[in-house]
Structure 1
């Protein structure tokens, strides 16, 4: 079976099961853009993709990520045909995975400095920063208030990125 659907699995191995959900070319990129790019709408995800995802592929991946419980949808009150995509708790819990992938890619692949800076911040901050970021994502995507007085990890990541862009050759 080349492409198992939800409920059909090659084996019960947790690595295999994770790869069946996340192992295609685009799913983690879409999740990255929702998680770190603050993109919630199809058009934002389509036009904001540095990698140039095709609209039919994006639509398919969004459907699959919703079906697999990593994203959830809600209607946009401002426009009847607009759908907002948000992370579920399972999607939010991918922050450590994304941090590890970013760290590995930064170390072993020809990643640009500008696009690596967020991975550097996450690596330096470690699990404590990841937990704070997950709390911030829970507030943004699930409506769960985070502890008062916590500095924004999202703002820290964006400040680091903006500084890297400003100093890029």
Structure 2
């Protein structure tokens, strides 16, 4: 019985350690938007969306990103990060202006932000807590992500 109990407790400890280890933390995002405004994820719950104008899923989700930006009620911030690959600043600005998107957008010309957050494809949605710990990540805007955002604003879906 003692061996079973030790095995059980060891399993619980390992499970707790793996859960802690899998929760990634990132240094704060420090960047300037296309409107030349500083943005930072330091001390703020932050919803990052990595995207490109040539990504069909990204483009399809942009109205939902705008909606998240409008509904945030200061409980979280939205920052769109254009991955910069096969893009130009002017092309991205033209796209955003054409559709009236108002969320802060960073152009990742060097790919450093994309690498910092270990993004390997677009779209990529990452929700960070105020200390930079990853709360949620998905390739598409999922119902689970919407639920996280609704919880932050106190809304019911």
| TM-score, normalised by the number of residues in structure 2 | 0.28
Question: Which protein shows a greater Rg?
Answer: 2
Q: Of Structure 1 and Structure 2, which has the larger fraction of its residues in strand?
A: 2
| TM-score, normalised by the number of residues in structure 1 | 0.26
Q: Of Structure 1 and Structure 2, which has the larger fraction of its residues in helix?
A: 1
